Chains A and B, each alone.
Chain A
Amino acid sequence: MRPKIEVRGIAKTFPTRSGPLPVLDGISFSVADGEFVAVIGPSGCGKSTLLGVLAGFERPDRGEVRVDGEPVREPKRTGIYIFQQPALSPWLDLEGNLVFGLNGASPEERPRLVAHYIALVGLEGFEHTFPHQLSGGMQQRAELARALMVKPEILYMDEPFGSLDALTRLRMRAELLRILVA
């Protein structure tokens, strides 16, 4: 069976003041459909850069990333990136942020869809709350809801719970597994 994601020999170097900084060099691996892969390494080792290349935010200097056999050229809604810090639009309330993810699609079932995903991450009653009025954990849950609502085939999660306190982090990990299994 063809792998979902194929990474072939990608390399990425960033220019810095003290000369070029190679971040990725000769990375190759593949991920099967339905697989849950964790990339582990010390901070600054290039995990976010790797995910950014996979999601199509950045082009590798060399090598290639294919999803379903197609080369990745730009970000797509089939693979949603979840940032280390929440990236909700601060001028939109929770509901507005979820609708934002739909990008104008499916106007008919929209209210039901939004309600369903808000309930999924346990944020009922906060539909008209703005991101800065929510705690960090709640913002990350909202972002997860926004991502799941577009039914992505891949989630690229860049230490999504890294900025939360230890207890919330543990709870969020358990919740994430529960949601992904569902």
Chain B
Amino acid sequence: MSGLDGRWLATFVPVAVLLALWHVAVVTSGSLIFPTPWQVVVGLVDLARQGLLLKHVVASLFRVTYGYLLAAALAIPVGMLMGRFATAHALLNPLVQGLRPISPIAWIPLAILWFGVGDLSPIFLIFLSSFFPMVVGTAAGVMTIDRKLIRAASNFEFTGFQLFRSVVLPAALPQIVTGMRIGLGVAWLVVVAAEMIAVNSGLGYLIIDSRNAGNRYDLVVAGMVAIGVIGFLLDTLMRKLERLDEVRWRYET
């Protein structure tokens, strides 16, 4: 058995066992509302045929993209300031550490109060949820830069922006990317929760609507499966980023 076959088998067997147990549990309990795996597959195909699956996936991804990119655009510069300048750190770190433990879900009422029911509320919640991991990762990345590297660069007369571009950014990049990966993961978790309350599209809405409009638990689970698959794909994408030469050195030294 080759290594590749082994890996496929290791993935396939637990999934198959889970599906089998699930099927047997539904059949033996005689549940009328909980779907079998096959019913979920049929539900997924149905959603895809009606174009609903694509519509909700696109809606969720659209919100994540906006909220996440806004967060990255603010978190990375702020994190760099905090990492580089003690004053910025002293001023901002208490705020960051104080706000960070508040679950984005707790912000939902305020989000609706400020931004109403619509796309802005979930975008704001995604922004909040992914901002903190990226700020913390970036600040830590910049703060832990080997002092020798900064000194060596100043010895070769690097100053200001040059020093930043040639040393600070590349040295901190691996931790920035890790922060971005964690941020995207959290953003994907939060978009679903936000869509259950504040909007009428997206995978979160699909789930809550399938339940409310007729206890279609096959579609509820189908939505969950779609969330899982897309979340996995997003994380795979970010892992690819971690394997770039510019980032990988950090894990090899």
CA distance A68 to B149 in the complex (A): 27
The reply to whether the CB of B34 lies closer than 8 angstroms to some CB of chain A is no
CA distance A76 to B162 in the complex (A): 15
Secondary structure at chain A's binding surface: helix, strand, loop or mixed?
A: loop
Interface size on B, residues (CB 8 A): 23
User: Do B167 and A103 touch across chains, with their CB atoms under 8 A apart?
Assistant: no
**Quick one: which of A81, A91, A131, A132 contacts B152, CB cutoff 8 A?**
A81
The reply to whether the CB of B5 lies closer than 8 angstroms to some CB of chain A is no
Asked, given contacts A89-B170, A91-B171, A91-B246, whether A132 binds B154 with beta carbons under 8 Å apart, the answer is no
- A-facing residues in B145-165 (Cβ within 8 Å): 146, 148-149, 151-158, 162
The reply to whether the CB of B166 lies closer than 8 angstroms to some CB of chain A is yes
Give chain B residues whose Cβ lies under 8 Å from the Cβ of A91.
170-171, 173, 245-246, 249
User: Do B253 and A75 touch across chains, with their CB atoms under 8 A apart?
Assistant: no
**Quick one: which of A55, A74, A100, A132 contacts B253, CB cutoff 8 A?**
A132
User: Smallest CB–CB gap between A156 and chain B, Å?
Assistant: 9
User: Do A75 and B249 touch across chains, with their CB atoms under 8 A apart?
Assistant: no
| Residue in B closest to A84 when the chains form the complex, CB atoms | B148
User: Smallest CB–CB gap between A16 and chain B, Å?
Assistant: 18
User: Do B156 and A83 touch across chains, with their CB atoms under 8 A apart?
Assistant: no
Give chain A residues whose Cβ lies under 8 Å from the Cβ of B162.
103-104
CB < 8 Å A-B pair total: 59
Give chain B residues whose Cβ lies under 8 Å from the Cβ of A102.
156
User: Do B157 and A77 touch across chains, with their CB atoms under 8 A apart?
Assistant: yes
Asked, given contacts A90-B249, A91-B171, A91-B249, whether A101 binds B148 with beta carbons under 8 Å apart, the answer is no
User: Do B149 and A150 touch across chains, with their CB atoms under 8 A apart?
Assistant: no
User: Do A150 and B148 touch across chains, with their CB atoms under 8 A apart?
Assistant: no
Q: A73-98: contact bitstring with B at CB < 8 Å (1 yes, 0 no)?
A: 01111011101010101110000000
**Quick one: which of B148, B158, B246 contacts A103, CB cutoff 8 A?**
B158
User: Do B166 and A100 touch across chains, with their CB atoms under 8 A apart?
Assistant: yes
Give chain A residues whose Cβ lies under 8 Å from the Cβ of B151.
57, 75, 81, 83, 87
Interface size on A, residues (CB 8 A): 24
User: Do A75 and B148 touch across chains, with their CB atoms under 8 A apart?
Assistant: no
| Residue in B closest to A55 when the chains form the complex, CB atoms | B155
The reply to whether the CB of A126 lies closer than 8 angstroms to some CB of chain B is no
User: Do A132 and B155 touch across chains, with their CB atoms under 8 A apart?
Assistant: no
Most buried by A among B152, B153, B167, B170: B152
Give chain B residues whose Cβ lies under 8 Å from the Cβ of A101.
156
User: Do B156 and A77 touch across chains, with their CB atoms under 8 A apart?
Assistant: yes
User: Do A57 and B154 touch across chains, with their CB atoms under 8 A apart?
Assistant: yes
CA distance A100 to B170 in the complex (A): 13
Asked, given contacts A55-B155, A130-B249, whether A87 binds B166 with beta carbons under 8 Å apart, the answer is no
**Quick one: which of B149, B246, B250, B252 contacts A87, CB cutoff 8 A?**
B149
Residue contacts A-B, CB under 8 angstroms, 23 given:
A57-B154, A75-B154, A75-B157, A76-B155, A77-B155, A80-B155, A81-B152, A81-B155, A85-B148, A87-B149, A89-B149, A89-B170, A89-B171, A90-B250, A91-B171, A91-B173, A91-B245, A91-B246, A91-B249, A100-B156, A102-B156, A130-B249, A132-B252
Using CB atoms and an 8 Å cutoff, list the residues of chain A in contact with chain B: 55, 57, 74-77, 79-81, 83, 85, 87, 89-91, 100-104, 130-132, 150
